């Protein structure tokens, strides 16, 4: 199978996972909601705003990757590192099983995209333009 086609499908899968993760947050159980509100503070609200801005940049970056724009490759790695640091700085939070699985799939997909960007012939597609 063509690597470009697989890479584009990974990008679309990442977009689908983002939509599913956002949708699943609205269907959290009451236990999870109560636990998460217990650890809520002003710092959490600031992180939520940063996550929102990061998500918007991430969505734009997915489009750049889909179109094989060279700037998308660097932005993706930077966003990946920034989101990992933000996750480490976040307060404790609980997740429903569905959200937990979707989050794991999202991280796995991000790893696959990074492998494609830096260790497969796809990396040459970003140097052409």
And the tokens for 93? 């939070």
Is the residue at 129 inside a domain? no
Is the residue at 128 inside a domain? no
Number of structural domains the chain divides into:
1
Task: Please tell me whether the overall predicted TM-score, pTM, comes out greater than 0.75 for this model.
Answer: yes
Q: What is the pLDDT of residues 50-108, one digit of tens each?
A: 889 999 999 999 999 999 999 999 999 999 999 999 889 887 889 999 999 999 999 99
Is the residue at 75 inside a domain? yes
Which range marks the domain in which residue 82 is found?
A: 3-123
Is the residue at 16 inside a domain? yes
Quick one: which H or E segment has residue 75? Answer: helix 70-89
d(CA 56, CA 65): 14
């Amino acid at each position: 199978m063509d690597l470009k086609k697989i890479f584009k499908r990974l990008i679309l899968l990442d977009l689908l996972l983002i939509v599913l993760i956002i949708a699943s947050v609205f269907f959290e159980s009451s236990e999870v909601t109560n636990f998460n509100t217990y650890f809520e503070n002003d710092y959490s609200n600031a992180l939520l705003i940063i996550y929102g801005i990061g998500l918007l940049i991430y969505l734009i970056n997915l489009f750049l990757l889909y179109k094989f724009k060279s700037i998308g490759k660097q932005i993706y790695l930077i966003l990946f590192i920034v989101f990992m640091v933000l996750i480490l700085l976040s307060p404790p939070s609980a997740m429903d099983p569905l959200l937990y699985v979707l989050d794991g799939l999202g991280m796995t997909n991000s790893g696959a995209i990074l492998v494609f960007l830096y260790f497969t012939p796809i990396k040459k597609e970003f140097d052409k333009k």
